[in-house]
Amino acid sequence: MDYKTPVEDMLFALKYGAEADRLPDWDDDLARDIITQSGRFVDRSIAPLDPLADISPPVLIDNRVRVAPELVAAVREFTKSGWLGLAIPEAFGGQGLPGVLTSAVLEMLGGACVNFLMLVACPEAAMRLILDQANEDQKRRFIPGIISGEYSTTIVLSEPQAGSDISLIATKAHQDDDGVWHLTGNKVFTSNADHDLTPNILHCVLARTGDADSGARGLSLFLCPAVSTDGQRNTIRIDRIEDKMGLHACPTCQVFFDGAVAEIVGAPGEGLMRMFTMMNAMRIDVAAQGTGLCQVAAQRSRGYAAGRRQGRALQPDQREAGAVPINRHGDVRRGLLTQTAWVEGLRSMLYRCAVDIELGHKPALVELMTPVCKVLATDAAVECANIAIQIHGGYGYIKEYRVEQILRDARIGRIFEGANGLHATNLVTRTLTAKDGASARAFEQDCEEAILAAQPQGATGMAGALSEGLVAWRASKEAVARQSDPGFVAYPFMEMTGLLALGMAWSRLQKNADKSPNPERISTTATFVRDWMLPETKSLSERITSAEENLTISEKAFQA
């Protein structure tokens, strides 16, 4: 069962979840045209590639990476059709459309063939980096080439000794007598570090310009093309393609820079600050990827559960002779509802965050919600894949039914673009207290506004459930602030924050259920979120508040 773009659901989320018409240049008719046309392209040209991508790993021939030819052709068709650079200004060859439409297209690709998404997602983030941080000459030289398909891009951060802690980066940048920068060092886990999808690749690299003890302050950002303007290959070498659990078609490489010529973005020592533009963009893109994976898991689960007949219905009014479709069974219905709750709610959260980013009116809220969207979507993708396997039973464990692949492909989302545990730790140690707690106040205000707008009102309605969740969140925030080491409870706090944000998203969808393509599904799922998922905020809060008194963790407990 190939992925099918849920066009009407996406348009509903854009209008009533994200309230995209807050954007000054928003056009509902244009958005419908973009979503419809891109959906047709994805369903026709990309979704059928998913099984092939899983069994078509790239190969290394003479230190050059070769990708499956079907994927090479599809990437070139995607680029030629104009889907790359939707939100880039027309002056650089883009279409100047709202950025939330890019998030929607990336969501489609994540559901249709996440391997394909991995081949085309990084250029979107790289262009945002160059637009925001590079000089005018760099913008003019590189952005049109990325949109046209002359360049692909990478984000080159990790090293064998430097994963989440980028202050340990050792790759060195030095200037020669002519003022030209050269990079020397070893990078790992670099997606698309080499391939034959495009004639050239622009590497976005963090390297050290300060001394060995300068930490993150000594890092600078460089643009390093694989092929120089004179047509000569830069001194960049690929010695290994990683053999991974999932994302089999995407080349994840070890990269060696051996004096490679590069150009600096900004001034020495500004690398981390400037790279944050691309890192945050990639986190929103990974949230779109996770949402797409939730969608395809839900689609395959619904299709299978409607056709698979097993057992007798327990409801007196639904009993009939013979076996019934398994979607009549309560345990299966709970799984289907959970998948729907995640995919529809995450889509609304993702799109709303993308709109807020573009408006620029709520930077403190965006700072909190960007990692929350990334963590929640990638966690949910794993859960939805697990549910899909369980609903399929033994067939879910067999490759032919195409749900075990979702789990393998989804699992890396919790690790790359900032491990989810690191985002959770940053939330409780930095984001909540930065700028005198501006992000925490913005989140509380957003929740209060959702409570006032929620339907129905009252203690038993969505407003009441959100109010109880907010009380639990505030109590947990205060408990976290009192703890000398809040890292132990960081993840439960992140989960609580995500659940509360999910509830807010569903309160907006529920209020407009009658305008959705499936009002009954929206109303039923909103009730499920209210009565089944939001109450978990209280149990999470109990764990967090009790931890400061009851948990003392000794290092000796973990010694071999």
Looking at residue 548, what is its pLDDT?
64
The domain ranges of the chain are 7-148, 151-269, 422-550
Looking at residue 313, what is its pLDDT?
81
Percent of the chain with pLDDT over 90: 91
**Helix runs in 17-98, H state only:** 28-41, 50-54, 69-80
Looking at residue 459, what is its pLDDT?
64
User: Looking at the predicted structure, is the pLDDT value of residue 488 above 80?
Assistant: yes
pLDDT in tens, 514-553: 999 999 999 999 999 999 999 999 999 999 998 766 566 6
Q: Look up the CATH number of domain 151-269.
A: 2.40.110.20
Q: Look up the CATH number of domain 7-148.
A: 1.10.540.10
User: Looking at the predicted structure, is the pLDDT value of residue 277 above 70?
Assistant: yes
If you average pLDDT over residues 338-360, what whole number do you get? 98
* Other C-beta atoms lying within 10 Å of the C-beta of residue 557: 7
Output DSSP code: residue 93: T
Looking at residue 315, what is its pLDDT?
73
Q: Are 201 and 225 in contact (CB under 8 A)?
A: yes
pLDDT in tens, 140-175: 999 999 999 999 999 999 999 998 899 999 999 999
pLDDT in tens, 386-427: 999 999 999 999 999 999 999 999 999 999 999 999 999 999
Rg (CA), the chain: 24
Q: How confident is the model at residue 485 (pLDDT cuts 50, 70, 90)?
A: confident
At 63, is the secondary structure helix, strand, or coil? coil
64-66 and 200-208: which strand pairing?
A: unpaired
Looking at residue 321, what is its pLDDT?
67
Pick from 183-197, 310-324, 434-448, 486-500: least confident: 310-324
* Other C-beta atoms lying within 10 Å of the C-beta of residue 520: 9
Q: Are 463 and 451 in contact (CB under 8 A)?
A: yes
pTM of the complete model: 0.96
Q: What is the dihedral angle through the alpha carbons of 129, 270, 154, 360, rounded to the nearest 10 degrees?
A: -30
Mean of all residue pLDDT scores within the chain: 95
